[in-house]
Amino acid sequence: MVSHPKPHQLAQGFDTIIVNGKVARREGKMSESYFGKVLKPN
Protein backbone atom coordinates (compact mmCIF):
# COMPACT_ATOMS: atom_id res chain seq x y z
CA MET A 1 0.00 0.00 0.00
CA VAL A 2 1.27 3.48 -0.87
CA SER A 3 1.67 5.83 2.09
CA HIS A 4 3.62 8.91 3.17
CA PRO A 5 6.54 6.82 4.49
CA LYS A 6 6.59 4.76 1.23
CA PRO A 7 5.48 7.08 -1.61
CA HIS A 8 7.16 5.06 -4.38
CA GLN A 9 5.54 1.73 -3.48
CA LEU A 10 3.79 0.34 -6.58
CA ALA A 11 0.04 -0.21 -6.44
CA GLN A 12 -1.20 -3.78 -6.17
CA GLY A 13 -4.23 -5.26 -7.91
CA PHE A 14 -3.61 -3.84 -11.39
CA ASP A 15 -2.59 -6.34 -14.07
CA THR A 16 -2.14 -3.73 -16.81
CA ILE A 17 -1.54 0.03 -16.65
CA ILE A 18 -2.11 2.11 -19.78
CA VAL A 19 -0.74 5.67 -20.13
CA ASN A 20 -1.70 7.78 -23.15
CA GLY A 21 -2.97 4.68 -24.95
CA LYS A 22 0.23 2.65 -24.47
CA VAL A 23 0.92 -0.19 -22.04
CA ALA A 24 3.27 1.10 -19.32
CA ARG A 25 3.10 -1.96 -17.04
CA ARG A 26 1.84 -5.47 -17.74
CA GLU A 27 1.82 -8.39 -15.29
CA GLY A 28 4.21 -6.62 -12.91
CA LYS A 29 6.79 -5.72 -15.56
CA MET A 30 7.44 -2.06 -16.39
CA SER A 31 7.92 -0.88 -19.97
CA GLU A 32 11.33 0.50 -20.91
CA SER A 33 9.69 3.65 -22.31
CA TYR A 34 7.90 6.58 -20.67
CA PHE A 35 4.54 7.59 -22.14
CA GLY A 36 3.56 10.57 -19.98
CA LYS A 37 5.24 13.62 -18.53
CA VAL A 38 5.91 14.88 -15.03
CA LEU A 39 3.47 17.52 -13.83
CA LYS A 40 5.04 20.36 -11.87
CA PRO A 41 3.19 22.89 -9.71
CA ASN A 42 3.31 26.48 -10.95
Q: Is residue 42 part of a domain?
A: no
Q: Is residue 38 part of a domain?
A: no
What pLDDT, on the 0 to 100 scale, is given for residue 2?
A: 59
Q: Is residue 37 part of a domain?
A: no
Q: Say how many domains are in the chain.
A: 1
**Tens digit of each residue's pLDDT (9 = 90 or more) over 8-39:** 777 778 889 898 899 998 988 889 888 888 88
Q: Is residue 10 part of a domain?
A: yes
Q: Is residue 39 part of a domain?
A: no
pTM of the predicted model as reported, rounded to 2 decimal places? 0.56
Domain that holds residue 21: 1-31
Q: Is residue 3 part of a domain?
A: yes
Do the beta carbons of residue 34 and residue 23 sit within 8 Å?
no
Q: Is residue 36 part of a domain?
A: no
Which amino acid is residue 3, in one-letter code?
A: S
CA–CA gap between residue 18 and residue 2 (Å, rounded): 19
